[in-house]
Amino acid sequence: MAAQYDAIAREYQRTKESPLRRHIEAHSLFGMLGDVAGLAVLDLACGEGFYTRLIKQAGAAVTTGVDISSEMIALAKEKEEQRPLGIAYLCSDVAALPDLGKFDVVTAAYLLHYAPDAHILQAMCRRIASQLKPGGRLVGINENPDQAAEDYAGYTQYGFNKSVQPPRKEGSAITYAMVSGRSMIRFNAYYYSRATYESALRAAGFSEISWRPLVLGPAGITECGEAYWQEYLANPPVVGLECRL
């Protein structure tokens, strides 16, 4: 996974400017997060630090960002140098993440579905749990495990599409094609059933697991109109995930 994002780091960074990212993804993530003032937050799969910075600006006392891509971490550190916020960044595979301390919340916007097999998924979940205080939460955005493979197409107006080679099975590669400026970037995630995710999370010690629908923020209706979002919300490619240790 490091190699695919190293090659597209700056192009992927530009996709954070899209209305979809701002009005559904960010709105949903922070709706699940709630008030982070004074909390210690570990942001996994932080990329170039987009959400890491927003979390720190929302009042988190300690904020650490981790990503497997060295190029993504370089972009995050570049932003930190330009405007210091007191964020620490680390390049690491979450499946082999060292102990970084004990955090109130771990955020993971697009992480678990990058595990190329169930064993690595389980290792990711164990390492996440090891970073949390008792009662700590994991809050993330993840591939929608309940979306049928035949419903993967139809997102062109939102700047991306996804596809999978039939027959889809546990660990099948899901290919995303995404517009970034005038470029088209491609990367792979992996399909797992809800049962596979929940089994890995429970084995790691998470006792409360909730799948949350994404929510459109009011500003998205103002900017793009309500009709623009209907197709996406009726067939969500990703969902929210909230777990408690």
pLDDT cut 70: percent of the chain above it: 99
CA 55 centroid distance within chain: 14
User: Is residue 104 predicted with pLDDT exceeding 70?
Assistant: yes
Give residue-wise pLDDT tens across range 185-205: 999 999 999 999 999 999 999
- The per-residue pLDDT for 181 is 85
- The per-residue pLDDT for 183 is 86
d(CA 162, CA 159): 11
Report phi then psi at 34, rounded to 5: 70, -155
Give residue-wise pLDDT tens across range 116-148: 999 999 999 999 999 999 999 999 999 999 999
User: Is residue 1 predicted with pLDDT exceeding 70?
Assistant: no
Read off the tokens for 42: 């570990």
- The per-residue pLDDT for 7 is 87
- The per-residue pLDDT for 19 is 94
- Segment 14-22 shows an average pLDDT of 90
- Segment 99-128 shows an average pLDDT of 98
Average pLDDT, the chain: 96
